[in-house]
Amino acid sequence: MIRVLIPGLYDSESRSPNLSQQHQKTFYEQGFLPAMQELCEDLAAEWPATYEDEMFRARGHNGKLSFQTKTIPEWQVRNIGSAIRSHLRRAGIPWARGIVFLHQIRGVKHSNFHPLDTTVAKESLVDFLQSAALDYDLLTSHGKWWIDVGIQVSSSDKNCLAWRTDSHVHMVQHVCKISDANAERITSIGSSKYTRDLTSHLAEVSGCRISPGTRGRGPYEVAYLQMYPTDKSLTSRKDEGHHGKFIDCKDVLKGKTDTFIDSLYSLYLNAIDDKYSLARMEVRVPLEHACDVFLDLDEDIVRNSLVSFSRVEWW
C-alpha cells in the first residue's frame, strides 16, 4: 500500500485528510499520469486520459466505485515519487514540493520468526524484504524506512504469561536504552503518549501502547512500542469495527443469545487443556536498527516483568 502525504496542502481547519476533487484531478492529470507515461510507456495506455474519465469508468451501475490495481515494473518503483514530483513542479503546482510517499507493507505479521541472534536476524530480514521485491541496501540508502520488530516470550511449562503493570517503565527503559527519568515520564498515568490495556480487568496486570516522542526514542529511534498478552487470540476477528467476537442488542432481540454464549463458553472450555497465552512486545524502528533492537535483552528483567499462572488457576 502506498499513501501520499502532501504537507503543502495542510489545513489546520480541515478535519479530513483526503484531497478535494480538484486536487485529486490535478494530482492525477498533471502528476501521476505523466509520470506513468514516462516510466511505463505502453503500459500507461491503459489509464484513462482524465480524472473524470477514470471516475466514470470506476463507477458501477449501482453508483459504487471500484478502482483498478495496476502492475508497475519492479525496476521503476523507486522512481515513481521523483517522477510525480517533477511533473507537478513543471506544471507549476505550488504544493508539489515536499510530497512524501509512504510505502506500507501490511498483512505480514507472524510471517517471519528467528532466534535472538544478529546473523540470523539479518538473514531473516533480507529474506523478508526479498519476498516483497525490496532490497535492503537500496532501502537504507534511499528515504526513511521503518519496520515493526517483536519478541515473543513463552513458558516452558505452558503456563499463561502476562505483563506486570509495574514492569512497563523497566522494559521501556531497557529496550529503548533511555534514562530512568524519560522512561518514568512516558509510562506515567498522565502521559498522553501512554495507554494501558488491562488484562482481565486486573489493574496490576496490563499491556501498554506507547509513542515515546523525540526524547524517549533512544539510540534505536523507537517510534512506537506495545506490550500485550495473546489471551484474546482465540476470539480475534475484525468485524464491523470490533476486534473480536461480539453480540449486540439486535442479535439478543432476535434470540441469538443462547447459541452465541454457548459457543463462546465451549471455545474457552475446550482451550483449558492445551491453550495458553504468550507475552509479546513490539517496537517500530528505522530499518537500519531492525537487527539490533531486542538482541541484548536481560533475561532477569524480562522474567521479573511477567506474571505466570497455570490454566487451572486461571479458571
Phi, psi of 285, rounded to the nearest 5 degrees: -135, 160
**Alpha carbon distance 33, 14 (integer Å):** 27
Q: Which residue has the higher pLDDT, 103 or 124?
A: 124
**Alpha carbon distance 177, 217 (integer Å):** 8
- Name which of 129, 155, 156, 127 is nearest 140 in CA terms: 129
Residue 313, pLDDT above cutoff 60: no
CA 107 distance to own-chain centroid? 9
For the chain, report the end-to-end CA distance as a whole number of angstroms: 43
Enumerate the domain spans of the chain.
2-103, 148-231+277-314
- Name which of 36, 118, 100, 38 is nearest 72 in CA terms: 36
Q: Tens of pLDDT along 152-191?
A: 999 988 899 999 999 999 999 999 999 999 999 999 988 8
Residue 136, pLDDT above cutoff 60: yes
CB count, 10 Å around CB of 242? 10
**Any residues with CB less than 8 A from the CB of 89 and at least 6 apart, and which?**
96, 97
Contact 33, 24 (CB under 8 A): no
pLDDT at 246: 87
- Name which of 232, 233, 212 is nearest 223 in CA terms: 212
The percentage of the chain sitting over the pLDDT mark of 90, rounded to a whole number, equals 42
Contact 137, 155 (CB under 8 A): no
Residue 253, pLDDT above cutoff 80: yes
Helix H, strand E, coil C: the string for the chain is CEEEECHHHCCCCCCCCCCCHHHHHHHHHHHHHHHHHHHHHHHHHHCCCCHHHHHHHHECCCCCECCCCCCCCHHHHHHHHHHHHHHHHHCCCCCCCCCEEEECCCCCCCCCCCCCCHHHHHHHHHHHHHHCCCCHHHHHHCCCCEEEEEEEECCCCCCEEEEEHHHHHHHHHHHHCCCHHHHHHHCCCCCCCEEEEEECCEEEEEEEEECCCHHHCCCCCCCEEEEEECCCHHHEEEECCEEECCCCHHHHHCCCHHHHHHHHHHHHHHHCCCCCCCEEEEEEEEHHHCCCCCCCCCHHHHHHCEEEECHHHHC
Residue 107, pLDDT above cutoff 70: no
Residue 127, pLDDT above cutoff 80: yes
**Any residues with CB less than 8 A from the CB of 301 and at least 6 apart, and which?**
170, 171, 174
Q: Tens of pLDDT along 52-84?
A: 999 998 888 888 888 877 778 878 877 888 999
Determine which of 35-44, 108-117, 193-202 has the lowest per-residue pLDDT on average.
Answer: 108-117
Q: Tens of pLDDT along 86-100?
A: 999 999 999 998 898
Mean pLDDT of the chain: 87
CA 192 distance to own-chain centroid? 20
194-201: long-range contacts, CB 8 A cutoff, minimum separation 24: 194/168, 196/165, 196/168, 197/228, 199/162, 199/163, 199/229, 199/231, 200/231
pLDDT at 214: 79
